[in-house]
Structures are given as C-alpha cells and as structure tokens.
Structure 1
Amino acid sequence: MKPLGRHVLAEIYGCKFDILNDIKKVEKIMVDAALEAGAEVREYVFHKFSPQGVSGVVVISESHLAIHTWPELGYAAVDVFTCGEKVNPWDACNYLTEKFGAEHLTAKETKRGILPEIFTREAVNL
C-alpha cells in the first residue's frame, strides 16, 4: 500500500552563522526550497530569537517545511513533510544544505499514513 506522505527529518551541520541567524535569509531559502521541490507555497511565518536563532514554517498545499536554527553551533533542524507524488522532500533538503553552506547532512525518511487495509475498506463504505 502506498503511503499518504513522506516525512524527512534532517540534521544539517556546518552551516554558516550569518545565514542561520538572518531571518530574511532563512525565510527566503525555506520558501525557495519548497518551490525547488515542486511544492505550492500557501503561507509562511518565521521568528527571530534573541540573541540568536530562527524558527519558522512554510505551509505548502502538500503539507509543510519547518526549521529551527542554532547559528552558534552551525546547526539547523529541519523537517519536510510532503503528501502525494508531485513533491520530492529530498530536493528541498538538498537545496537547504547547499544554500546554508553546510558541510554535512544527516536525514531519515519516514512514510506517513500507511493505513491497514481494513481502514481503507471501511472509509470507502462510509
């Protein structure tokens, strides 16, 4: 059975401080990563922490991209969740790794929404 979505959890290391600590740069790179992956961007919101760090989410028609940065450590925690077959979450992760000037990416993918046959049969009968 096909999953409803793909969820990539990414650990991005060795990123440039000046990028990870700049809310406008992080926002643009995240939105562009969604577009690069073929997603349709709906909305986005980002917050700058003091003294450093940025968190944000990009809502896409196909689900979302989220980030939290630790510029002082050169680290970004990212998750990219996509539904359907049109958007490739790995394209977004690779784009982010490049644009953050990262040295290393560690990531894992989880299939989401693999429903047992009984639930899909019952849903059809509703």
Structure 2
Amino acid sequence: MKPLGRHVLAEIYGCDFEILNDIKKVEEIMVNAALEAGAEVRECVFHKFSPQGVSGVVVISESHLAIHTWPELGYAAVDVFTCGEKVDPWDACNYLTTNFSAKQMTAKETKRGIHPVTPHRVAVNM
C-alpha cells in the first residue's frame, strides 16, 4: 500500500546569519519553498526570538513546512511533511538550502501513514 505522506527532516548548515535572523526573510523563503515544491499555501505563523532566532510554520493543503533557526550557529532545523503525490518535499528542502546560502544539507525521509491491508478500528477508553 502507498504511504499517505512523505516527511523530510533536514539539517541545514553554514547558513547566512542575517537571513536566518530576519523573520520576514525566513517567512518569504519558507513560503516560496512551499510554492516551489508545488504546494498550496494556507496559513503562516512565525515568531522572532531575542537575541536571535526564528521559528515558524507554513500550513499547506498537503500538510506543513516548519523551521527553527539558530543564526549564531548558521543552522536551521527544517521539517517538510507532504501528503499525496503532487508535492515533492525534496524540492522545498533544496530551495531552502540554496536561499539560506547554506554550505550543507543533510536530510532523511520517512514514509507516513502506511496502513495494513485490512483496515481496523482502535478503541480508546478514557
């Protein structure tokens, strides 16, 4: 059976401090990464930390892109989860790597929602 989604966890290193510390720039790059991957953007929420760092999420029809930056380390932790076959999470990760002026990206993909052939229900008692 096909998985419901693909989840890529990316470690992006050697990024430009100024980019990773600029909430508007990080949001713009994240939204454009989603669009580059073929996703439909629904909502965005981003927060700027003091003295530095940005966290945010771009909600897409196909799931989400999330980020937390450590500008002082030139590092961004990125999470790209897409459902269906239309959107490629790797396209988003590659776009982010390029636009953060990164020197290196390592990532791993996990298939999500692989169901057994025979569906079953699970009862939860509360």
Query: Which TM-score applies when normalising by structure 2?
Result: 0.95
Q: Distance in 1 between matches of 2:44 and 2:102?
A: 23
Q: Which residue of 2 aligns with 1:12?
A: 12
| Structure 2: runs of 5 or more not aligned | 122-126
Could you tell me how far 1:4 is from its partner in structure 2? 0.2
Q: Which residue of 2 aligns with 1:79?
A: 79
Instruction: Find out whether 1:55 has 2:66 as its counterpart.
Output: no
Q: Distance in 2 between matches of 1:12 and 1:81?
A: 16
Q: Which residue of 1 aligns with 2:42?
A: 42
Q: Deviations over 1:58-102 (max 9, x none)?
A: 000000000000000000000000000000000000000000000
Q: Deviations over 1:31-61 (max 9, x none)?
A: 0000000000000010000000000000000
Q: Which residue of 2 aligns with 1:65?
A: 65
Over the matched positions of the two proteins, sequence identity in percent amounts to 85
Q: Deviations over 1:8-30 (max 9, x none)?
A: 00000000000000000000000
Structure with a larger share of its residues in helix: 1
Instruction: Find out whether 1:112 has 2:94 as its counterpart.
Output: no
What amino acid does structure 1 have at the position aligned with 2:115? L
Q: Distance in 1 between matches of 2:57 and 2:117?
A: 33
What amino acid does structure 2 have at the position aligned with 1:90? W
Could you tell me how far 1:118 is from its partner in structure 2? 1.5
Tell me the SS of whatever aligns to 2:118: helix
Q: Distance in 2 between matches of 1:40 and 1:24?
A: 20
